[in-house]
Amino acid sequence: MPGDDMDPIPGLEENHRRALDGNEPNDRSAWHTAASFAVVFSQRQVDGQWERRLEAEQTEVEPEPEPRQWPGWDCEPLCGWMLSQLGLPENEADAVGQTKPATAAEPAAAAEPAAAAESAVHGAPGRAELRIDSATISDAVHDVDLVTAGNPVTAPPEDLQPPVRLRMTVHGARSSQQLRAAVWFRRPDGPGWSPHEPVMVPASGQAEFDLSSVPPGGHDVRLLAWATDRDATLAAVTLPRLTFRGS
CATH number, domain containing residue 155:
2.70.50
Note whether residue 30 is domain-resident. no
Which domain covers residue 52, as residue numbers? 37-102+109-122
Looking at the fold, whether 211 and 174 belong to one and the same domain comes out as yes
How far, rounded to the nearest angstrom, does the alpha carbon of residue 81 sit from its chain's CA centroid?
22
Last residue of a domain, one of 60, 93, 122: 122
User: Which of 71-80, 137-146, 184-193 is modeled with the greatest confidence?
Assistant: 137-146
Note whether residue 182 is domain-resident. yes
Q: How many CB atoms lie within 10 A of CB 33?
A: 7
Q: How many distinct structural domains can be found in the chain?
A: 2
Tens of pLDDT, residue by residue over 15-51, are: 555 555 544 444 444 566 777 888 888 888 888 888 8
Backbone angles phi, psi at 90, to 5 degrees: -60, -45
Note whether residue 4 is domain-resident. no
Looking at the fold, whether 129 and 230 belong to one and the same domain comes out as yes
CB 242, CB 155: distance < 8 Å: no
Looking at the fold, whether 113 and 168 belong to one and the same domain comes out as no
In this prediction, residue 210 carries a pLDDT of 94
Tens of pLDDT, residue by residue over 195-211, are: 888 999 998 999 999 99
Looking at the fold, whether 181 and 82 belong to one and the same domain comes out as no
Q: How many CB atoms lie within 10 A of CB 224?
A: 24
Give all strands of the β-sheet with 68-71 in edge-to-edge order: 37-46, 49-58, 68-71
CB hemisphere CA count around 74 (13 angstroms): 6
Last residue of a domain, one of 65, 93, 122: 122
CB hemisphere CA count around 202 (13 angstroms): 5
The pTM assigned to this predicted structure is 0.53
Note whether residue 23 is domain-resident. no
